């Protein structure tokens, strides 16, 4: 059925911090919407994916992303040398009034303003050739055409979505009512939520919830969330933090409990959790209920496996130096990438799917 549906190509500009993981986030978001996703080009910050999803759905997905800065529907890819003769591009998708924007990633660039003006006049003429009466409006265009110039290529595309400035502002660990030094920055917390493929209305569990950064981003993404932490002060802190951002949730469905992440099967029914997103302890100081950090992770993985639904995902951050045994009969490793925190601290993002 799906293969007969019309496929479109989408171009994404990704934020620079975690390019590899950002591609994985794009895949996860398409999967969340039940769409196909084939990565066609990944070139630094630029990612092109082919999918049967409609641009309206892609726009909705981008709204919950951490790493996508700009999303457009790709209309043509040409050599930059042929930029002056782009008359063969089909601009029939353009509705007037239109607006041209340029993102230039080449080392030698002309000023954005003059490039936008020059390309707008090319589009103008192309529209006239189509028998249209063109009009430009920079503030309220019906179509915004993005020309993305990178290396030898120009990607001509129809704007879908842009990340709002300040999307994650106001939720830094230090800005939350209850602070903890190991608390995640909101963008990373959102990334982990998305990699867990938690859908709207599904139950997302964070078994090491701390002061609740992942739970907050899960609620903003529309999931129902459950946080547990062994330290009995943490669920109270998470509660205060979750409530501080209640204006950002459509539904505020959450539960918190003091509990041990290695004994989840005593709290939840087997195969009952839709997604797990978590950031377990990194060092000895915070290890409880296990001899050492390796044992904690092993016990946690076993316990998690019992409560997570089949084929659902666990996304987590883990210390780089951890010797983590993953039972390949129980888990499929979907993704692993390095996450640079600072010169002396590298962590990994790991995504497992329950077999």
Ligand X SMILES: C[S@@+](CC[C@H](N)C(=O)[O-])C[C@H]1O[C@@H](n2cnc3c(N)ncnc32)[C@H](O)[C@@H]1O
Instruction: Catalog residues that contact ligand X under the rule CB under 6 A.
Output: 180, 182-184, 207-208, 210-211, 213-214, 228-231, 234, 260-262, 279-281, 286-289
Q: Which is nearer to ligand X, 142 or 257 (CB)?
A: 257
Tokens 């209850």 belong to 178
Mapped to the 3 state alphabet, what secondary structure does 187-235 carry?
HHHHHHHHHCCCCCCCEEEECCCCCCHHHHHHHHCCCEEEEEECCCHHH
CA dihedral 287→292→295→296, nearest 10 degrees, is 0
- Measured CA to CA, the distance from residue 239 to residue 329 in angstroms comes to 37
Q: Which is nearer to ligand X, 161 or 259 (CB)?
A: 259
Q: Which is nearer to ligand X, 145 or 293 (CB)?
A: 293
Q: Which is nearer to ligand X, 101 or 176 (CB)?
A: 176
Q: Which is nearer to ligand X, 122 or 192 (CB)?
A: 192
Tokens 């390019």 belong to 19
Helix (H, G, I), strand (E, B) or coil at 289: coil
> Least distance from C-beta 189 to ligand X, angstroms?
6
> Least distance from C-beta 285 to ligand X, angstroms?
10
Q: Where are the beta strands (DSSP E) in the chain?
A: 8-14, 38-43, 46-51, 68-79, 98-104, 143-150, 153-162, 203-206, 224-229, 254-258, 273-278, 308-319, 331-342, 345-354
> And the tokens for 135?
């009009």
Q: Which is nearer to ligand X, 162 or 302 (CB)?
A: 302
Backbone angles phi, psi at 186, to 5 degrees: -60, -35
Question: Are residues 291 and 314 in contact, defined by beta-carbon separation less than 8 angstroms?
Answer: no
Which DSSP category does 58 fall into?
H
Q: Which is nearer to ligand X, 182 or 253 (CB)?
A: 182
């Amino acid at each position: 059925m799906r293969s007969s549906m019309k496929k479109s190509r989408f171009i994404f500009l990704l934020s620079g911090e975690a390019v590899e993981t950002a591609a994985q986030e794009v895949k996860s978001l398409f999967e969340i919407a039940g769409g196909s996703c084939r990565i066609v080009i990944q070139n630094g910050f630029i990612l092109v994916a082919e999918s049967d999803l409609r641009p309206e759905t892609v726009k909705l997905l981008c709204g919950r992303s951490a790493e996508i800065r700009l999303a457009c529907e790709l209309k043509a890819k040409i050599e930059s040398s042929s930029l002056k003769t782009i008359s063969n591009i089909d601009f029939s998708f353009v509705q007037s009034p239109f607006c041209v924007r340029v993102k230039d990633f080449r080392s030698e660039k002309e000023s954005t303003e003059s490039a936008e003006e020059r390309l707008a006049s090319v589009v103008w003429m192309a529209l006239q050739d189509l028998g249209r009466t063109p009009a430009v409006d920079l503030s309220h265009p019906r179509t915004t055409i993005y020309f993305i110039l990178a290396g030898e290529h120009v990607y001509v595309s129809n704007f879908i979505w842009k990340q709002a400035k300040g999307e994650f502002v106001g939720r830094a660990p230090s800005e939350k009512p209850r602070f903890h030094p190991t608390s995640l920055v909101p963008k990373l917390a959102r990334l982990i939520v998305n990699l867990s493929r938690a859908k709207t209305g599904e139950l997302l569990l964070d078994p090491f919830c701390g002061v609740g950064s992942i739970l907050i981003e899960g609620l903003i993404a529309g999931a129902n969330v459950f946080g547990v932490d062994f330290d009995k002060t943490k669920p109270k802190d998470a509660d205060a933090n979750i409530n501080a951002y209640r204006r950002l949730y459509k539904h505020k469905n959450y539960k918190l409990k003091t509990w041990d992440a290695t004994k989840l099967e005593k709290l939840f029914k087997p195969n009952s959790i839709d997604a797990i997103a978590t950031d377990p302890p990194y060092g000895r100081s915070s290890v409880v209920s296990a001899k050492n950090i390796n044992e904690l992770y092993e016990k946690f993985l076993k316990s998690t496996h019992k409560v997570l639904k089949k084929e659902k995902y666990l996304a987590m951050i883990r210390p780089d130096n951890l010797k983590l045994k993953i039972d390949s009969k129980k888990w499929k490793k979907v993704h692993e990438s390095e996450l640079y925190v600072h010169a002396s601290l590298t962590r990994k993002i790991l995504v497992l799917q329950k077999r």
